[in-house]
């Protein structure tokens, strides 16, 4: 086989989380208001969903609004909520047509009844789709997710549905917002900062982290492809040694 015809097999992450950061700075660089950046970010969301679906990623979790983002100026918060409702309404048909299952994760109790209604409808419509699970994290916080799982499990304990022995990592995972989905393999953050900002804390225990300076509205298929290629080149060891990861010895199978 010549070098050119060598087919590189890419390891595709099953579950990717993205912290879509940099909308405000993208707009400010163009002398516009921050909200202009949020609107421009919608096309980047479409591109990310397209890429995930076509590359075989099973779950994509997008950070749209954090539990801390309420602290922003009132005008920006209202505009983000309006935009969320608008996009939900305009995109859901397209998602359904493309066999994509939508789920909104986060503390939705803070949302208006109208928005909650829209979310419920969109989730119900796309419930049986299986080409890609798309999770939109809205009013989401990683600490909230963990506390919420603990709360649900505590209620079950009090009601006698489970015992304290059921408080294991695996049952806890079943009560976290991404339950039933593959483990988070890759966590991407755009916008140049190197932090998690209270995103998928429980889920990122063994995720590979990828940071890029690209501001969210400029993130496209090419940027996503670069993140997947980088992921594919990494050796994940889960506490084992590199040698253990490469051996086929059945005694080393826990690695
Ligand atoms: C991310 O972009 C979108 C949200 C947090 C809703 P930002 O609005 O945080 O943009 P920067 O980081 O200020 O540029
Ligand atoms: C994280 O971005 C939240 C979202 C992308 C929705 P932020 O811009 O809110 O994060 P910090 O404040 O810089 O940590
Ligand atoms: Mg930001």
pLDDT in tens, 70-110: 999 999 999 999 999 999 999 999 999 999 999 999 999 99
Task: Look over the chain and give the mean of its residue pLDDT values, rounded to a whole number.
Answer: 95
Instruction: Give the DSSP H or E segment for 189.
Output: strand 186-189
Q: What is the pTM of this model?
A: 0.95
Taking the C-alpha atoms of residue 203 and residue 179, their distance in angstroms, rounded to an integer, is 10
**Tokens, residue 87:** 């996009």
- Whether the pLDDT of residue 4 is over 80: the answer is no
According to the CATH classification, is domain 15-144+184-234 in 3.30.360.10?
A: no
- Whether the pLDDT of residue 2 is over 70: the answer is no
- pLDDT given for residue 1 in this prediction: 39
Residues lining ligand 1, CB < 6 A?
20-25, 65, 69, 80, 191, 216
**Tokens, residue 79:** 């505009």
Protein residue with least CA distance to atom 2, ligand 2: 21
Residues lining ligand 2, CB < 6 A?
19-21, 63-66, 69, 193, 195, 197
Taking the C-alpha atoms of residue 191 and residue 18, their distance in angstroms, rounded to an integer, is 11
How far, in Å, is the centroid of ligand 1 from the Cα of 24?
Answer: 5
At 138 the three-state DSSP class reads: strand
Sorted by where each begins, the domain ranges of the chain are 15-144+184-234
Is residue 69 part of the annotated active site? The answer reads: yes
CA 179, distance to chain mean position in Å, is 13
E strand residue ranges, the chain: 15-19, 59-66, 100-105, 132-140, 186-189, 208-211
Residue that wins the pLDDT comparison between 9 and 210: 210
Taking the C-alpha atoms of residue 199 and residue 62, their distance in angstroms, rounded to an integer, is 10
DSSP, res 223: H
């Amino acid at each position: 086989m010549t070098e050119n015809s060598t087919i590189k097999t890419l390891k595709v992450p099953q579950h990717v989380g993205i912290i879509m950061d940099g909308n405000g700075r993208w707009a400010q660089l163009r002398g516009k208001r921050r909200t202009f950046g949020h609107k421009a970010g919608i096309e980047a969301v479409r591109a990310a969903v397209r890429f995930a679906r076509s590359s075989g990623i099973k779950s994509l979790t997008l950070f749209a609004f954090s539990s801390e983002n309420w602290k922003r100026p009132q005008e920006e918060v209202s505009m983000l909520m309006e935009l969320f409702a608008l996009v939900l309404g305009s995109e859901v048909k397209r998602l359904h047509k493309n066999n994509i299952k939508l789920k909104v994760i986060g503390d939705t109790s803070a949302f208006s009844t109208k928005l909650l209604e829209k979310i419920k409808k969109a989730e119900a419509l796309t419930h049986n789709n299986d080409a890609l699970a798309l999770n939109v994290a809205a009013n989401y916080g990683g600490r909230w997710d963990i506390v919420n799982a603990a709360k649900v499990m505590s209620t079950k304990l009090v009601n006698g549905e489970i015992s304290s022995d059921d408080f294991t990592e695996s049952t806890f995972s079943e009560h976290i917002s991404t339950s039933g989905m593959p483990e988070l393999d890759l966590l991407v953050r755009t916008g140049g900062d190197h932090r998690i900002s209270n995103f998928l804390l429980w889920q990122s225990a063994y995720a590979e982290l990828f940071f890029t300076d690209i501001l969210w509205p400029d993130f496209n298929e090419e940027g996503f492809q670069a993140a997947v290629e980088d992921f594919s080149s990494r050796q994940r060891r889960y506490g084992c040694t590199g040698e253990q990861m490469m051996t086929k010895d059945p005694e080393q199978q826990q690695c």
